[in-house]
Amino acid sequence: MSYLSTVDFTEDRAFVDRFQRTMRGDLELSWMDAPRERVACRPQNERRGLTFRDLDVGSYGFTDMPELIRENRSFAPRGAAMPEGLPDLQAEVNRKSEVWAYNIEGYYEEAMTRQWNATTDIPWGELQSVDLPEDIGKAYAQLLTFLTEVEMIATDVPAKWMGRLNADFFEVKNFIATQAMDEARHAEIFRKRALSTGWGLMRASAQNEFNLKFLRDADSFAEASLALHLQAEGMVLTLFRFSEYISPTEGDKKLFRLVMQDEARHVGYGMQHLKWVLDHFPERREAIHHHLDEAENFVFGGGYATEVLEPFIILSGKGLKKENIAEGVRITNAFQLKQADEYFERLAKCGLPERRERSRLWKMIELRKQSMAA
């Protein structure tokens, strides 16, 4: 049985009487007397409008929010007067450092102003006039199939956690909502582009789906965010950048530039969240390393996903001839090393420089660099 309100309002005589009195103009206005902090928030910069940062005032703001939310377990907006009888919404995450990120309010505002439309912001007409040769067309359709497959994990996972976060963290919840929309748009644009190539969708990727399941099943929001925002999306961000570089048309380059903008925001949140965790909840450091150990195992296992690696080589080398493949391998090697370097660099910037020493992935990358140099 689901939750039932403590009162059936249509059967509660006192509530109905009050309702009917109000409808006759007999007002009590007790809410006017509720103690409150009177503020008049104004835009600090008219061109940017009224931002969440402008609302960071006293009990309404995020700066003074305590590390542990002990009082509000309802949907009462942060800073509002809380009467008796508010329900307990059973939030599971009530510790600020489990979810917070430096500049979270900025990431949210940016997301709201930089929404775009996959239906109209891509020159679909121009793309229609380009017929890709079979090798490039199929390789591109396969890469797009992979991207279509993985994008919405970054909708489902944060969405799963949204309802478990205390309502006082509404800036984080709002950010999650923007991310859900961003990722829906990414799944949409990659699907549409795959279907507009004329080659249709290609093969699903079992190896990558195991990684998606790992992301879905994280035990805590902090672990989910670490593996999703920082690691997975960080690596996808590098993939997008290289995909822009190897894109077959100008329209495709624009496509990747647009998704990169969104992805960079998600990675930004992941980094600033990890930084916040390490600054405010240092006991988690060891747990973070343990989670990354397994997350990196999945990344390394991604080598089995030939349906991702091989199209990338073909697209990079621009064909299937021997010299094309050689060039493709050269670019793909550079891409993979860059992807790993950027990942470890991000971790170091967040306050986890020792990760390189502990990581088996880093050791494998070092071995590869040595073998390439030899």
Rounded Cα distance, 171 and 75, in Å? 13
In the numeric block, which tokens belong to residue 147?
């991207």
The answer to the question of residue 255 lying near another protein (CB under 8 A) is no
Among 63, 70, 84, 373, binds another protein (CB under 8 A): 84
| Closer of 279 and 294 to another protein (Cβ) | 294
In angstroms, what is the minimal distance from the CB of 196 to another protein? 5
* Residue 118 CB partners (closer than 8 Å, separation 6+): 185, 188, 189, 192
Q: Which is nearer to another protein, 47 or 283 (CB)?
A: 47
Name which of 368, 344, 110, 338 is nearest 243 in CA terms: 338
Distance CA 91, CA 108 (A): 22
Measure the CA–CA gap between 183 and 201, rounded to whole angstroms: 19
Question: Which residue number, 198 or 282, has a Cβ lying nearer to another protein?
Answer: 198
Bridge partners of residue 165, in order along the sequence: 93
27 in contact with another protein (CB under 8 A): yes
Helix (H, G, I), strand (E, B) or coil at 165: strand
Cα separation, 177 vs 125, in Å, equals 31
With contacts defined by CB under 8 A, how many residues of the chain interact with another protein? 152
Out of 160, 275, 356, 369, name the contact with another protein by CB under 8 A: 160
DSSP 3-state of 342? helix
CA–CA distance, 369 with 309 (Å, rounded to integer): 18
> Residue 212 has which token pair?
């998606």
Minimum CB separation of residue 88 from another protein in Å reads 9
Neighbours of 307 (CB within 10 A): 19
Q: Does residue 166 belong to the site contacting another protein (CB under 8 A)?
A: no
Q: Does 24 bind another protein (CB under 8 A)?
A: yes
Residue 283 in contact with another protein, rule: CB under 8 A:
no
Residue 93 pairs with which residues in a beta bridge?
A: 165
Choose between 15 and 245: whose C-beta lies nearer to another protein.
15
Measured from the CB of residue 294, what is the shortest distance to another protein in angstroms? 6
133 lines the binding site for another protein (CB under 8 A): no
Interaction residues for another protein, span 299-318 (CB under 8 A)? 300-301, 303-304, 306-307, 309-311, 313-314
Q: Does 360 bind another protein (CB under 8 A)?
A: yes
Interaction of residue 197 with another protein, rule CB under 8 A: yes
For position 55 contacting another protein by CB under 8 A, the verdict is yes
Task: Give yes or no for residue 128 binding another protein (CB under 8 A).
Answer: yes
Give the separation between CA 101 and CA 173, rounded to whole angstroms. Answer: 12
- Determine if 191 is a binding residue for another protein (CB under 8 A): yes
Output phi, psi for 93, to 5 deg: -115, 105
Three-state SS at 335:
helix
Q: Which is nearer to another protein, 56 or 341 (CB)?
A: 56
Of 16-24, 62-70, 243-251, 349-357: span binding another protein (CB under 8 A): 16-24
Work out how close the CB of 194 gets to another protein at its nearest, in angstroms, rounded to a whole number: 8
Q: How far is the CB of 149 from another protein (least distance, A)?
A: 5
Residue from 69, 79, 232, 288 binding another protein (CB under 8 A): 79
243 closest CA partner among 203, 196, 193, 198: 193
